[in-house]
Amino acid sequence: MEYRELEKLGIKTSLLGFGCMRFPKHRNGKVNEEKAEELLDIAYKSGVNYYDTAYIYHDGESERITGHILNKYSRSSYYLATKLPVWLVQTLEDAKRIFEDQLRRLDKDYIDFYLLHALNKNEFDRIVKLGVLEYCDELKAAGKIKYFGFSFHDEFPSFSHIIQYRDWDFCQIQYNYMDRNIQAGDKGYELATQLGVPLIIMEPVKGGTLAKLPKGAVKYFSEMKPDQSSASWAMRWVAAHPNVKVILSGMSNLEQVKDNIENFSPYITLDNEEMKVINNVGEYLLKRVKNGCSGCSYCMPCPVGVDIPRNFRIWNDYGMYRNKGETGWLWNQDLNEKAKAKNCIECGKCEKVCPQQISIRSDLKKLQSELDAVK
């Protein structure tokens, strides 16, 4: 197993981290704890020493299950990470109550890596005012948490604001070869590296999307290494960045566990030709986008409430990856009906300010028809 040194913290973590948000389930939706234990045992015995859970994962059951399984091993032999759900914190007392609840669920005296969960700028500023940062510093001084950081879901200016606000022990960002210019992205990686903040990476395969690529994209990979999975290419791309200390993978089955362990036992650095192949896959996928929307939001707000960038993002992602399951969920369940393209009144206000000069009204009609047909 490949290990990376977090120089700032004086510790070494396995490059592969086990994300405990996608445990195998029974048909009734409950976690199959026997199979989850089997996967964690294999990972541990293969050298994985970083386990990541959160207060909300698996309807609040992930912390209990993860803590229980890890109790069979020496506490000093692994690092346990969990997160404070900032959106549930309305008072400082909420933060204190949740933390104590987490210790009970995990059945632990301390937490190694404690994160403010899914930060954006507004939530961060609110948490600062509540005094949560000072409370977490008190927990650290008391030995109840070892390292304090945050996970991030916003755009780069917000990331820059948060990461430079204080001296963080670490931070967690979404990063993969297709998401280099969204959220923290390449600029976030470089800034964290410049500041000496070690990085934990989530979504290295973009929620599974980069593991299930269109055949035209897979062809680039299979021609060079026919036995290597698309997911392994994505994982190795992330690992090629030295300030990446842990790559989290939410592993749900034995095949995924074995594939990931093989990638990092040992890790073999991507050579120039392999990097070119990944770039070719990225270019192939980008050519499949439906239009050139960059998500700048200059077209917003729409007078009738259509979320134009969100509609185009779903449409463009569908064009690139043809992931019907994810697209169907985003379109039919996640996006509010009032924000859908069908509500456009064709006033043309959006097109007058669009930097890409996109035919927004026409494209909204096309995408409504195409996404309605996704089942």
Q: Is the pLDDT of residue 372 over 90?
A: yes
Token reading at 99 = 């933390």
**Which candidate, 75, 65, 86, 85, places its Cα nearest to that of 21?**
65
Q: Could you tell me if 298 and 353 are in contact, meaning their C-beta atoms sit under 8 angstroms apart?
A: yes
Confidence band for 19, pLDDT divided at 50, 70 and 90: very high
Confidence band for 356, pLDDT divided at 50, 70 and 90: confident
pLDDT digits (tens, 9 = 90+) for 223-276: 999 888 999 999 999 999 999 999 999 888 999 999 999 999 999 899 999 999
Token reading at 196 = 């000496």
pLDDT digits (tens, 9 = 90+) for 135-159: 999 999 999 999 999 999 888 999 9
Q: Which residues contact 170 (CB under 8 A, 6 or more apart)?
A: 6, 8, 9, 113, 147, 149, 197, 198, 199, 200, 245
Q: Tell me, what's the pLDDT at 208? A: 84
Confidence band for 123, pLDDT divided at 50, 70 and 90: very high
Task: Using CA atoms of 94, 87, 159, 190 in order, give the dihedral in degrees to the nearest 10.
Answer: 80
pLDDT digits (tens, 9 = 90+) for 61-74: 999 999 999 999 99
Tell me the C-alpha distance between 255 and 250, whole Å: 12
> Which SS3 state, helix, strand or coil, does residue 178 take?
coil
What residue spans of the chain are helical by DSSP H?
A: 33-45, 57-60, 62-70, 92-106, 121-130, 132-141, 156-163, 185-195, 215-224, 230-239, 254-263, 272-286, 308-321, 324-329, 349-353, 360-372
Give the residue carrying structure tokens 């999975």: 229
CA distances from 311 to 68, 100, 194, 235 (A): 42, 41, 35, 29
Q: Angle at Cα 262 formed by Cα 259 and Cα 264, nearest 5°? A: 115
Tell me the C-alpha distance between 337 and 360, whole Å: 18
Tell me the C-alpha distance between 318 and 334, whole Å: 15
CA distances from 171 to 66, 159, 292 (A): 21, 10, 31
Q: What is the pTM of this model?
A: 0.87
pLDDT digits (tens, 9 = 90+) for 48-101: 999 999 999 999 999 999 999 999 999 999 999 999 999 999 999 999 999 999
> Which SS3 state, helix, strand or coil, does residue 280 take?
helix
**Count of C-beta atoms within a 10 Å radius of residue 92:** 14
Handedness of CA 238, 239, 241, 244 (dihedral sign): positive
Q: What is the mean pLDDT of the chain?
A: 94
Q: Is the pLDDT of residue 305 over 90?
A: yes
pLDDT digits (tens, 9 = 90+) for 208-237: 889 889 899 999 999 999 888 999 999 999
